[in-house]
Homo-oligomer: A and B are copies of this chain.
């Protein structure tokens, strides 16, 4: 047996454990024991161990992750499922993703992203993600109905962020949408704003609905009622913000211009800003504009907004999910949490000012 010559593999093949063993003149599992620092390795002679380590170094040995996963039932990879539109980058995703990556990396986890075009249309793809390539799955702002939620696989730990429905057995993390919206609108009202247009997110988004509730409650608590038709549904994208505001302004031509716009999220606010600038309206002198989320867009546009702790949400999600995975593999206690609601806070910006005193009509 040519056990001495470490035969060079043609490029295209990684060295295997057997290769290392062969090169070191030992069995593959002796190599395995040494390279894993397993307790078995204590019972291997120092000389042999050295030879094995040297051979591994020479051959540039890297354990194959898929083979390892097959036995350990673990890939050390987290999945993050989200909708990513072709047209517009999702800043909300980027913030959460970055938190997941960060906390995941600290726990030795990689992150794989699954992009869905639409939760309802593609819900059937979710079980396919849980085919062993990831150990746990984070659903980012999923919109599933009861039925779809029931069909989620139960052999892979799942966690949702900002979910539309509470899914049994699935931890959910979310910001306090209603309180955040209420605080922002209360602030606007406190500054004297009375005609506050709310460009809301989509009808089917629970978070969007809660922000509307906050908007309404702030008014109610102040003993006020928003003007009629002052809540408009949109899509959580800049393009939607742009189009909906245009449309609304066209429909309300000749009426008094709102004193402020409270957009359902930062992207929509950016879309609104485009429209206002295009119409030559001065922000915030003639009209104030605030968003929701506190993504980087808000910071770059100097937008006043409601901060939700997106990065923190992502970090917590990763940590809780890893704990769930550990628990499933019998390596720790399962997190005894089901639903976490994180607080929001108001963020100042250049787009928020006192309401104008003069009357200004939409044209």
Shortest distance from the beta carbon of A281 to any chain B beta carbon, whole Å: 14
Inter-subunit contact A64/B113 (CB<8 Å): no
Q: Most chain-B Cβ atoms within 10 A of its Cβ — which of A65, A97, A127?
A: A65
Q: Which residue of the partner chain B has the closest CB to A11?
A: B154
Taking the nearest CB of chain B, how far is it from the CB of A146, in angstroms?
18
- State whether B14 touches A155 (Cβ < 8 A): yes
* B132-A65 in contact (CB<8A): yes
Contact of A131 among B64, B94, B131, B350 (CB under 8 A): B64
Copies in the complex: 2
Q: What is the minimal beta-carbon distance from A16 to any residue of chain B, in angstroms?
A: 11
Q: Closest B residue to A301 by CB, please name it.
A: B300
Name A103-135 residues within 8 Å CB distance of B.
105, 110-115, 127-128, 130-133
A60 at the interface (CB under 8 A from B): yes
Size of the chain A interface, CB-CB below 8 angstroms: 54
Given contacts A94-B94, A98-B89, A101-B84, contact A67 B132 (CB under 8 A): yes
Known: A89-B95, A277-B302, A300-B270. A110 touches B110 (CB 8 A): no
- Residue-wise, chain A 225-259 has the 8 Å CB interface mask toward B (1 for contact) of 00000000000001000000000000000000000
- A13 to B154 CA separation, bound complex (whole angstroms): 8
Binary flags per residue of A15-38, CB closer than 8 Å to B gives 1, else 0: 000000000000000000000000
